[in-house]
Amino acid sequence: MTQRLHLVFGGELVDPSKSVFKDVNDIHIVGMFPNYESAYNAWKAEAQRTVDNAHMRYFIAHIHRLRDEERAASATEELGN
Question: Which one, of 38, 43, 33, lies nearest residue 63 by Cα?
Answer: 33
pLDDT surpasses 50 at 81: no
Indicate yes or no: pTM above 0.95.
no
* DSSP characters over 19-79: --BS-GGG-EEEEEESSHHHHHHHHHHHHHHTTT-TTEEEEEEEGGGG--TTSPPPHHHHH
Cβ–Cβ under 8 Å, residues 6 and 17 = no
Domain ranges of the chain: 6-69
How confident is the model over 60-81, as a mean pLDDT? 66
Task: Kindly indicate whether the domain formed by 6-69 is annotated with CATH number 3.30.70.2400.
Answer: yes
pLDDT at 79: 47
